[in-house]
């Protein structure tokens, strides 16, 4: 799996992201999203889930090339981490395969994190 993961990261960066990419080999961030354990979905369950099928159609409609390599049944999510000791400012947990964090929420939290803070 890590062999595929290396090439997935290499393909992702810098094509979609110019910043730093950290490879989480032990999948600790995924485990943190799952309350300490890796959350997985079953292929047949995902296939029968209406929301998963809608997510697939939405992703396909973007026209982006899909990646079918690697571990595809691990549920993920998103952390937005503040600077310094601020910790996690936003967390989104994938509930159905292919869920995306609401873009407006992510942009809002990022804007708030960038807002100048008064000196104390």
pLDDT in tens, 65-74: 776 666 778 8
Which residues are registered as beta bridge partners of 80? Answer: 90
- The pair of structure tokens assigned to 116 is 């100048």
Question: How far is residue 59's CA from residue 61's CA, in Å, rounded to a whole number?
Answer: 5
- By C-alpha distance, which of 75, 83, 85, 84 is closest to 110? 83
SS3 letters for 19-44?
CCCCCCCCCHHHHHHCCCCCCECCHH
- By C-alpha distance, which of 61, 88, 107, 110 is closest to 98? 61
The residue ranges of every structural domain in the chain are 2-114
Considering the entire predicted model, what is its pTM?
Answer: 0.68
pLDDT in tens, 64-115: 777 666 677 888 899 999 988 999 999 999 988 888 899 999 999 999 998 7
**How close are the terminal C-alpha atoms of the chain, in Å?**
48
């Amino acid at each position: 799996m890590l062999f595929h993961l290396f090439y997935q990261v290499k393909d992702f960066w810098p094509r979609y992201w110019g910043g730093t990419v950290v490879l989480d080999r032990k999948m600790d961030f995924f485990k943190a999203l799952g309350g300490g354990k890796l959350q997985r979905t079953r292929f047949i369950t995902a296939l029968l889930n209406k929301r998963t099928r809608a997510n697939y159609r939405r992703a396909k409609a973007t026209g982006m090339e899909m990646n079918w390599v690697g571990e595809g049944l691990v549920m993920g999510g998103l952390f937005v981490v503040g600077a310094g000791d601020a910790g996690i400012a936003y967390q989104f947990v994938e509930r159905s395969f292919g869920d995306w964090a609401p873009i407006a929420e992510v942009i809002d939290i990022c804007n708030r994190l960038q807002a100048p803070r008064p000196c104390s």
